[in-house]
Amino acid sequence: MELLLIRHGLTRANLERRFCGRTDWPLLPESLLDLDQLAHSGALPTVEVVCHTGLLRTIQTAERLFPGVPTQGMPSLAEFDFGDFEALTHDDLQGDPAYVRWLAEYETMACPNGESQRDFQDRVRWGFRDLTMDWT
């Protein structure tokens, strides 16, 4: 089994440098065009299935790059859950004591109503384990 990891196309949150994990931002129109160009460039391999996180930006990326290929949602591979910091920027949060503490202890401390780096890594690790068990 070969695994190809592709990051989703650009969203407004990416351009604005917002913490974006669980908010369901769509891709920017220009990113959709870039994905269409890549899909028709011949640079992508042939694949049997495309997994996505279930968020719109990942579904749009999968469908644009690999039209007609079966897809499977895998929420366990979703991006980091920033909890109360979601959709905010570093500048928005600079004076927040919870944010300052989280920056110092992000590996073990969860964002308020979110997850820690360790939680994220464990979740994704289990997601990849499930993925490889499903397709081997």
For the chain, the structural domain boundaries read 12-134
Q: Span 12-134: which CATH code?
A: 3.40.50.1240
Q: Are 123 and 76 in contact (CB under 8 A)?
A: yes
Confidence of residue 136 (pLDDT cuts 50, 70, 90): low
- With a pLDDT cut of 70, the percent of the chain lying above it is 99
Is the pLDDT at 124 greater than 70? The verdict is: yes
Q: In the prediction, which pLDDT does 1 show?
A: 74
Handedness of CA 69, 56, 31, 33 (dihedral sign): positive
DSSP assignment letter at 66: S
Token pair for residue 87?
A: 């959709």
Return the percent helix, strand and coil in the chain, to nearest 5: 45, 5, 45
Termini Cα distance of the chain: 7
Is the pLDDT at 95 greater than 90? The verdict is: yes
Mean pLDDT of 4-20: 96
Mean pLDDT of 87-111: 96
